[in-house]
Amino acid sequence: MRERKGVMTQPSTDFEAWIRRYHQAPSSGVRLVCFPHAGGSASFFFPVSARLSPAVDVAAVQYPGRQDRRAEANIGTIPEMADAVLPAVRALADRPLAFFGHSMGAVLAYEVARRLERDGAEPLARLYVSGRRAPSRHRSEHVHELDDAGLVAELQRLSGTDSSLLGDPEARDMILPAVRSDYHAVETYRHVPGAALRCPVVALVGDRDPQVTRDEALAWAEHSSGPFDLRVFPGGHFYLVEHGPRVIQALADDLAAVRVPSGAGGVAGGAGRTDAAAT
Per-residue b or e along 161-179, where b marks 16 or more CB atoms closer than 10 Å to that residue's CB = beeeebeeeeebebbbbbb
Q: Which of 103, 81, 44 is nearest to 73 (CA)?
A: 81
Tell me how far apart the alpha carbons of residues 121 and 33 are, in angstroms, rounded to a whole number: 15
Active-site residue, selected from the candidate residues 37, 144, 184, 237: 237
Of 90, 91, 110, 88, the residue nearest 99 (C-alpha): 110
157 SS3 class: helix
Measured distance CA(177)–CA(158) in Å, rounded: 18
Question: Angle at Cα 39 formed by Cα 157 and Cα 172, nearest 5°?
Answer: 75
Type of residue numbered 191: H
Q: How far apart are CA 242 and CA 19, in angstroms?
A: 25
Closest CA to 134 of 101, 158, 89, 161: 101
- Identify the active-site residue in 103, 130, 181, 224: 103
- Give whole-number Cα distances, 166 to 148, 162, 176, 245, in Å: 10, 7, 9, 26
Concerning whether 181 is annotated as a catalytic residue, the answer is no
Our answer to whether residue 103 is catalytic in this structure is yes
- Residues belonging to the active site: 103, 237
